[in-house]
Amino acid sequence: MTNKASRAVIDSALAAGRKALTAPEAQLLCDAYGIPTPKQGLAKTAGEAIKLAARLRFPVVLKIVSEDILHKTEAGGVIVGVESPGDVRRAFDRLVKNAKAQQESVKIQGVQVQQMLHGGQEVMVGAVTDPSFGKMIAFGLGGVLVEVMKDITFRLAPVGKKDALSMLDAIGSAEILRGVRGAKGVNRAALADIISKASKLVNDFPEIQEVDLNPIFATEKDAKAVACASSSATRRRRANGLARAKF
């Protein structure tokens, strides 16, 4: 995917007056910038979801895809550990039902079927736009830990590989990444690569106000972003850009 195609994705969201990208749109940007993610696909029907799940191999994760629902977990829009075709059908129906319970006129693009990852350390990589300093790249422990521990470090964009590696050592929990109590450390080069690529994304498209890759599952072999989001300003505020992009 070229920068021209990435631009088309962002412009389409802005033209529609949206402040955030849908998961499939965010996935296109991840693919364009080489940010690794689990295998996945979009299903419009339960039958399509079953075929996708079988191709990806069970267990899988199902997530609602709707431009009207930004916080999927809070809306009951994520179901993990789906282990059979029957479970996929029930999960698909439940996700749609939960979405309509949030908003009767909700626009549903489909359901994302994603390969389920196991093990690894959860971390996060993000980007925010500071009114004084501009684009800033964030790194810290991910999942719920990012909100509980608030163990995050920041750098001004753009962030190269050397600075990205230094971010791994700048958090208070850096020792966890190196491996403790017999646990193996994470692939530092893979994490630094994701950090620098997220930095390039927001540097190339200043209208993107926020990027959230959380969680990223990091192991000794690799690192993959399980959930990605990004946002921008509306077209009226095009100079300021997208508000948030969640992948």
10-residue averages of pLDDT along the chain (247 residues) = 85 91 93 96 98 98 95 94 98 98 94 95 95 96 75 96 97 93 92 98 94 95 92 47 46
3-state secondary structure 144-211: CHHHHCCCEEEEECCCCHHHHHHHHHHCCCHHHHHCCCCCCCCCHHHHHHHHHHHHHHHHHCCCEEEE
User: Of 116, 146, 170, which marks where a domain is finished?
Assistant: 116
* 144 & 225 share domain: yes
pLDDT at 1 (0 to 100) = 58
Assess whether 125 and 150 both reside in one domain. Answer: yes
Which of 57, 88, 116 is a domain's end point? 116
Co-location of 240 and 127 in the same domain: yes
Q: What is the CATH number of the domain that holds 88?
A: 3.30.1490.20
pTM value surpassing 0.75: yes
What pLDDT does residue 245 have? 46
> What pLDDT is attached to residue 231?
75
**Residue 169 CA neighbour count, 13 Å, CB half:** 5
Residues 128 and 198 in one domain: yes
Tell me how many domains the chain contains. 2
Q: Tell which of 68, 99, 116 closes a domain.
A: 116
Residues 225, 37 contacting (CB under 8 angstroms) = yes
Confidence (pLDDT) at 247: 41
Phi, psi of 215 (to 5 degrees): -90, 160
Domain that residue 66 falls in: 39-116
